[in-house]
Amino acid sequence: MSAPVIFDRSRDEIEEEANGDVFDIEIGVSDPEKVGDGMNAYMAYRVTTKTSLSMFNKNEFSVKRRFSDFLGLHSKLATKYLHVGYIVPPAPEKSIVGMTKVKVGKEDSSSTEFVEKRRAALERYLQRTVKHPTLLQDPDLRQFLESSELPRAVNTQALSGAGILRMVNKAADAVNKMTIKMNESDAWFEEKQQQFENLDQQLRKLHASVEALVCHRKELSANTAAFAKSAAMLGNSEDHTALSRALSQLAEVEEKIDQLHQEQAFADFYVFSELLSDYIRLIAAVKGVFDHRMKCWQKWDDAQITLQKKREAEAKMMLANKPDKIQQAKNEIREWEAKVQQGERDFEQISKTIRKEVGRFEKERVKDFKTVIIKYLESLVQTQQQLIKYWEAFLPEAKAIA
Amino acid sequence: MMEGLDDGPDFLSEEDRGLRAVNVDLQSDAALQVDISDALSERDKVKFTVHTKSSLPNFKQNEFSVVRQHEEFIWLHDSFVENEDYAGYIIPPAPPRPDFDASREKLQKLGEGEGSMTKEEFTKMKQELEAEYLAIFKKTVAMHEVFLCRVAAHPILRKDLNFHVFLEYNQDLSVRGKNKKEKLEDFFKNMVKSADGVIVSGVKDVDDFFEHERTFLLEYHNRVKDASAKSDRMTRSHKSAADDYNRIGSSLYALGTQDSTDVCKFFLKVSELFDKTRKIEARVSADEDLKLSDLLKYYLRESQAAKDLLYRRSRSLVDYENANKALDKARAKNKDVLQAETSQQVCCQKFEKISESAKQELIDFKTRRVAAFRKNLVELAELELKHAKGNLQLLQSCLAVLNGDT
């Protein structure tokens, strides 16, 4: 059974115009602060909103939120919007190891790094969520941004980003196991699914390479620092004065370069690598949405099959001439006819929503990637400019060895 | 795959010859000029063509070439070390054995993994590994050449008969490598020497110059060793990062060709950038290796040779002192006095001869060292600048294109 694809042109156009508005809302996540002690401790983050949109009470306001609050928000949004075809941005991952270190009070660089990584991820998550025109209208989102007190989110275990992913994957498995192949009337959906599958694979590959780069750059930084110290020692023991001085200068240059490598590794990670991992998880959400559509179709199809069965049952009753059973059969037929109609409407609606969502997603993706790539290249430019400065300063020192 | 590299053609271009022997600042003179004009890499050995130009009467011709292998260089070096007459000189350190094992292994692994990557990736990696192989090859040639040039530049060693045989005799020298027994003997000799070294260097030297040199060399040698190791690790990290650029470039290319939106142009342009910038980063790593790591490695070996000289001098001093004691004893007992007197004189002469030449050698060592460091540090800085500027230009022009697009 195939479904005609109907577009309500005029309504679409109106929504398009609304989307064309520059979304004048900016979210910042900052000032991570440890609250409490021991295993009950948690990090509180300041969420600051700057906006000129009239739906908010003020132009600038901030609240304190903890990680489980973010998960709670996401679970609410996902429950409401995923199954009707909206691509709800996934929340950042939970990390037991990372968080335990912070709770236990390990004040080392790895826990500071962890907190910073999480802060940046939470910020990106909120920015993506508010950019979505439909989600921005959601009262739960507004409450999250505005109200000073927020009821504690419960059951975030099951509804963490990973939890949602598991749900999505289970749905996908269920779909794959369907023996009835959906009769896809619209090639667009098949094409898009394939495209996202390919994109997913490629992004994963790229992400792995960038992660390797981050790792090697950090190694390079450490090795450069070690060499700098060693060169300084060598300079100390060199008994030719001018050469000794030049070697000390070399050590200084290498120390500065080590700093440079560290900063570059930072950029490698926060600008490039994290974008890629965000998109890998976003695409999982997109895939989930496609799978929901299949489930929706399945429901509709099942309803049609059941209606057919009810009609056959009615025919049997009429032959057997059982008046009270006939009435029951007619009621059931009416019931299932309504369900079939609802199923068709739902399916059309989700298909329409997905088309729009994918269009928006692709636009965002293009913009995101362009912005990030340019930002990343600019970080590389900065590194090279600094390198030139350092070596230009060193060259005369080397030439001065007499 | 190895076949293509086996019967290697002349790997050494004209321009490369001028760049070699960079770690030592040598006065080459017309009387004797030695260089390695060609080299061939075969399955498990390298064949060096040693080319000599000389106006000395010792040689039959003015210009001639022979083919030598690594073992023959070692034989020559060891013959210097074992020669008592040369005890007062810094023996130029032997070149390290050519080691292509790592590179070969990588090339082999690449061949095995050919099926698992795209043709384009495979070609890229193959080129990379071949370039690496070539770089190692050029380095080993340079190191063997430096050794010969040092010998040729030394006023005494250049006259050595074994050296002349090495340069001229156009048959195989048939120097078998040391067998197990001889290697074991060497090992024990070295052990005794270092144990000795500890004892002997405990004696404070009367001569200020040598006292200073000993303190200096002991510390310097250790620091150079450390710096050399750390420089090596730094260079290798640099190379790893450059290799990552390669993979990132390939991934971006794949993304660019698959993407249907207009970000695909972005991906393709950036992929191109990464390919180009990667080549520069690889060159940076290679130049750091050449100008810094190799320099430090060389002076690690040279400072060891200088330490060996000091040890030999200390040994001869101990021998001299022992001979003095023996002479006193003989005079007291009035027995074998003449024998003891002769022995004492021989030791005295030996010690004085070594001391005199050692002083000059150590002064020369310092001069050479300073000159080499200066040359290499200047060249290092110039190359780093060149590459950084190249990189910057690439990045800026790419950004200009990308920004113009948006």
Instruction: For A275-290, write each residue's pLDDT tens digit.
Output: 999 999 999 999 999 9
Q: What is the pLDDT of residue A166?
A: 62
Residue A312 is assigned to a structural domain of this protein: yes
Residue B240 is assigned to a structural domain of this protein: yes
Both structure tokens of B399: 């950004």
Residue A370 is assigned to a structural domain of this protein: yes
Residues 6+ apart with CB under 8 A from A376: A267, A268, A271, A272
Q: A380 to chain B: which residues are within 8 Å by CB?
A: 277, 391, 395
Domain boundary among A100, A115, A150: A150
Residue A215 Cα distances to A178, A304, A336, B249, B404, angstroms = 43, 56, 59, 17, 33
Judge whether A35 and A41 are in contact, CB under 8 Å: yes
Q: Looking at the structure, tell me whether residues B229 and B338 fall in a common domain.
A: yes
Residue B202 is assigned to a structural domain of this protein: no
- Write the residue in B234, B247, B254 that is nearest to A227 by C-beta: B234
- A398 touching B (Cβ < 8 Å): yes
Judge whether B373 and B298 are in contact, CB under 8 Å: no
Rounded mean pLDDT, A258-273 = 91
A363: nearest CA partner in chain B: B261
CB-CB under 8 Å, A369 with B263: yes
Judge whether B311 and B196 are in contact, CB under 8 Å: yes
Judge whether A87 and A357 are in contact, CB under 8 Å: yes
- A251 touching B (Cβ < 8 Å): no
Q: What are phi and psi of A322, to 5 degrees?
A: -115, 95
Residues 6+ apart with CB under 8 A from B106: B129, B132
Which of these, A280, A255, A285, lies nearest to A83 by C-alpha position?
A: A285
Judge whether B209 and B358 are in contact, CB under 8 Å: no
Q: A224 to chain B: which residues are within 8 Å by CB?
A: 234, 237
Which of these, B282, B283, B288, lies nearest to B242 by C-alpha position?
A: B282
B46 - beta bridge partners? B41
Instruction: Label residue A167 by pLDDT band (50, 70, 90).
Output: low
CB-CB under 8 Å, B369 with A206: no
CB-CB under 8 Å, A220 with B226: no
Pairing relationship of beta strands B46-54 and A60-66 according to DSSP bridges: unpaired
Residue-wise DSSP of B77-140? HHHHHH-GGGTTS-PPPPPPPP--HHHHHHHHHHHHGGGGS-HHHHHHHHHHHHHHHHHHHHHH
Residue-wise DSSP of A103-120? HHT--SHHHHHHHHHHHH
Q: What is the pLDDT of residue B201?
A: 61
- Write the residue in A198, A216, A399 that is nearest to B258 by C-beta: A198
Instruction: Label residue A14 by pLDDT band (50, 70, 90).
Output: very low
Q: What is the pLDDT of residue A161?
A: 55
Domain boundary among A150, A169, A198: A150
For testing contact with chain A, the best of B384, B393, B401, B403 (most A CBs within 10 A) = B384
Judge whether B68 and B140 are in contact, CB under 8 Å: no
Residue A201 is assigned to a structural domain of this protein: no
- Looking at A95-227, which runs of residues are DSSP E strands? none
Cα(A263)–Cα(A260) distance, integer angstroms: 5
Q: Looking at the structure, tell me whether residues B396 and B249 fall in a common domain.
A: yes
Q: Looking at the structure, tell me whether residues A274 and A371 fall in a common domain.
A: yes
Both structure tokens of B92: 């130029």
CB-CB under 8 Å, A213 with B261: no
| Amino acid identity at B214 | R
Helix, coil or strand: residue A30:
strand
Pairing relationship of beta strands A60-66 and A42-51 according to DSSP bridges: antiparallel
A214: nearest CA partner in chain B: B241
Maximal C-alpha separation, chain B? 107
CB-CB under 8 Å, A230 with B230: yes
Q: What are phi and psi of A23, to 5 degrees?
A: -75, 100
Q: What is the pLDDT of residue B11?
A: 39
Residue B213 is assigned to a structural domain of this protein: no
Cα(A150)–Cα(A308) distance, integer angstroms: 49
- B380 touching A (Cβ < 8 Å): yes
Handedness of CA A313, A314, A315, A317 (dihedral sign): positive
Residues 6+ apart with CB under 8 A from A275: A368, A369, A372
- A381 touching B (Cβ < 8 Å): yes
Question: Which residues of chain B have a pLDDT value below 50?
Answer: 1-23, 25
- A360 touching B (Cβ < 8 Å): no
* Percentage of the residues of chain A whose pLDDT score is greater than 70: 85
Residues 6+ apart with CB under 8 A from B342: none
Instruction: Label residue A216 by pLDDT band (50, 70, 90).
Output: very high
Residue B39 is assigned to a structural domain of this protein: yes
What's this model's pTM, rounded to 2 decimal places? 0.83
- A116 touching B (Cβ < 8 Å): no
Measure in Å the smallest separation between the Cα of B298 and chain A Cα atoms.
15
- A387 touching B (Cβ < 8 Å): yes
Q: What is the pLDDT of residue A156?
A: 56
CATH number at residue B58: 3.30.1520.10
Instruction: Label residue A105 by pLDDT band (50, 70, 90).
Output: low
For testing contact with chain A, the best of B235, B244, B362, B382 (most A CBs within 10 A) = B244
Cα(B385)–Cα(A393) distance, integer angstroms: 11
User: In which residue are the tokens 């979304």 written?
Assistant: A23
Q: What is the pLDDT of residue B100?
A: 82
Cα(A268)–Cα(A286) distance, integer angstroms: 26
Both structure tokens of B137: 């090859």
Residue A188 is assigned to a structural domain of this protein: no
Size of interface A-B (CB pairs under 8 A): 161
Q: Looking at the structure, tell me whether residues A273 and A394 fall in a common domain.
A: yes
Q: Looking at the structure, tell me whether residues B222 and B307 fall in a common domain.
A: yes
Task: Let me know if A146 is exposed, middle or buried by CB neighbors in 10 A (0-12, 13-18, 19+).
Answer: middle
Q: Looking at the structure, tell me whether residues A90 and A232 fall in a common domain.
A: no
Judge whether B291 and B326 are in contact, CB under 8 Å: no
Q: Looking at the structure, tell me whether residues B166 and B229 fall in a common domain.
A: no
Judge whether B136 and B103 are in contact, CB under 8 Å: yes
Q: What are phi and psi of B117, to 5 degrees?
A: -130, 165
Q: A102-106, A126-130, B79-83: which range is least confident on average?
A: A102-106
Which of these, B15, B52, B24, B22, lies nearest to B36 by C-alpha position?
A: B52
Residue A26 is assigned to a structural domain of this protein: yes
| Amino acid identity at A132 | H
Helix, coil or strand: residue A90:
coil
Q: Looking at the structure, tell me whether residues A40 and A133 fall in a common domain.
A: yes
Q: A233 to chain B: which residues are within 8 Å by CB?
A: 223, 226-227
CB-CB under 8 Å, B223 with A219: no
- What 3 state SS string does B39-69 have? EEECCCCEEEEEEEEECCCCCCCCEEEEEEC
**Which of B:266-285 have CB within 8 Å of A?**
266-267, 270, 273, 277
Provide the terminal-to-terminal Cα distance of chain A, rounded to the nearest Å.
Answer: 90
Q: What is the pLDDT of residue A170?
A: 64
Residue A48 Cα distances to A27, A70, A128, A297, A319, angstroms = 6, 14, 15, 42, 71
User: Residue B315 belongs to what domain range?
Assistant: 218-405
- Write the residue in B373, B384, B403 that is nearest to A391 by C-beta: B384
Q: Per-residue pLDDT for A16 more than 50?
A: no
Which of these, A102, A158, A128, A137, lies nearest to A15 by C-alpha position?
A: A137
Q: A267 to chain B: which residues are within 8 Å by CB?
A: none
- Write the residue in B212, B255, B370 that is nearest to A206 by C-beta: B255
Residue B233 is assigned to a structural domain of this protein: yes
CB-CB under 8 Å, B251 with A202: yes
**Which of B:187-216 have CB within 8 Å of A?**
212, 216
CATH number at residue A85: 3.30.1520.10
CATH number at residue B275: 1.20.1270.60
Q: Looking at the structure, tell me whether residues A141 and A218 fall in a common domain.
A: no
Which of these, B293, B237, B289, B290, lies nearest to A223 by C-alpha position?
A: B237
Cα(A122)–Cα(A91) distance, integer angstroms: 7
Q: B400 to chain A: which residues are within 8 Å by CB?
A: none
Q: Looking at the structure, tell me whether residues B374 and B232 fall in a common domain.
A: yes
CB-CB under 8 Å, B373 with A374: no
Rounded mean pLDDT, A257-282 = 92
Q: Looking at the structure, tell me whether residues B314 and B399 fall in a common domain.
A: yes
Provide the terminal-to-terminal Cα distance of chain B, rounded to the nearest Å.
Answer: 45
Which of these, A349, A335, A351, lies nearest to A303 by C-alpha position?
A: A335
Judge whether A213 and B241 are in contact, CB under 8 Å: yes
Q: Looking at the structure, tell me whether residues B255 and B368 fall in a common domain.
A: yes
Q: What is the pLDDT of residue B77?
A: 95
Residue A126 Cα distances to A43, A130, A280, B390, angstroms = 17, 6, 17, 40
How many domains are there within chain A? Answer: 2
Residue A387 is assigned to a structural domain of this protein: yes
For testing contact with chain B, the best of A191, A199, A216, A268 (most B CBs within 10 A) = A216
Q: Looking at the structure, tell me whether residues B163 and B224 fall in a common domain.
A: no
Q: Looking at the structure, tell me whether residues B166 and B240 fall in a common domain.
A: no
Report for A49-63, A110-124, A159-173, A211-225: range of highest mean pLDDT? A211-225
CB-CB under 8 Å, B266 with A233: no
Residue B178 is assigned to a structural domain of this protein: no
Q: A174-183, A210-219, A333-342, B75-84: which range is least confident on average?
A: A174-183
Q: What is the pLDDT of residue A353?
A: 94
Q: What is the pLDDT of residue B179?
A: 63
Q: Looking at the structure, tell me whether residues B137 and B285 fall in a common domain.
A: no
Residue A199 Cα distances to A202, A207, B262, angstroms = 5, 12, 14
Residue A11 is assigned to a structural domain of this protein: no
Domain boundary among A150, A181, A206: A150
Residue-wise DSSP of B175-195? -PPP-HHHHHHHHHHHHHHHH
Instruction: Give the model confidence (pLDDT) of B231-245 as tens digits.
Output: 999 999 999 999 899
Cα(B296)–Cα(A271) distance, integer angstroms: 37
Measure in Å the smallest separation between the Cα of A51 and chain B Cα atoms.
26
Centre a 10 Å sphere on the Cβ of residue B132 and count the other Cβ atoms it contains: 18
Judge whether B5 and B276 are in contact, CB under 8 Å: no
B267: left (phi over 0), alpha (psi -120 to 50) or beta: alpha
Q: What is the pLDDT of residue A155?
A: 57
Cα(A258)–Cα(A213) distance, integer angstroms: 16
Measure in Å the smallest separation between the Cα of A215 and chain B Cα atoms.
9
User: Residue A74 belongs to what domain range?
Assistant: 21-150
The ipTM estimated for the assembled molecules is 0.84
Domain boundary among B171, B205, B233: B171
CB-CB under 8 Å, B258 with A240: no
Q: Looking at the structure, tell me whether residues A281 and A375 fall in a common domain.
A: yes
Domain boundary among B171, B200, B226: B171
Instruction: Label residue A13 by pLDDT band (50, 70, 90).
Output: very low
Sheet strand arrangement including B46-54: B32-41, B46-54, B63-68
Residues 6+ apart with CB under 8 A from A274: A117, A120, A121, A124
Q: Per-residue pLDDT for A348 more than 60?
A: yes
User: In which residue are the tokens 């075969």 written?
Assistant: B42
Q: Looking at the structure, tell me whether residues A143 and A220 fall in a common domain.
A: no
CB-CB under 8 Å, B392 with A388: yes
Centre a 10 Å sphere on the Cβ of residue B372 and count the other Cβ atoms it contains: 19
Residue B1 is assigned to a structural domain of this protein: no
- Return the higher-pLDDT residue of A13 and A219: A219
CB-CB under 8 Å, A203 with B384: no
Instruction: Label residue A369 by pLDDT band (50, 70, 90).
Output: very high
CATH number at residue A243: 1.20.1270.60
Q: Looking at the structure, tell me whether residues B110 and B230 fall in a common domain.
A: no
Cα(B339)–Cα(B347) distance, integer angstroms: 12
Residue B319 is assigned to a structural domain of this protein: yes
Judge whether A39 and A221 are in contact, CB under 8 Å: no
CB-CB under 8 Å, B398 with A230: no
CB-CB under 8 Å, A398 with B380: yes
Q: What is the pLDDT of residue A9?
A: 38
Residue A249 is assigned to a structural domain of this protein: yes
How many domains are there within chain B? Answer: 2
**Which of B:213-232 have CB within 8 Å of A?**
216, 219-220, 223-224, 226-227, 230-231
**Which of A:25-84 have CB within 8 Å of B?**
none
CB-CB under 8 Å, A387 with B233: no
Q: Looking at the structure, tell me whether residues B154 and B257 fall in a common domain.
A: no
Q: What is the pLDDT of residue B233?
A: 95
**Which of A:183-222 have CB within 8 Å of B?**
195, 198-199, 202-203, 205-206, 209-210, 212-213, 216-217, 219-220
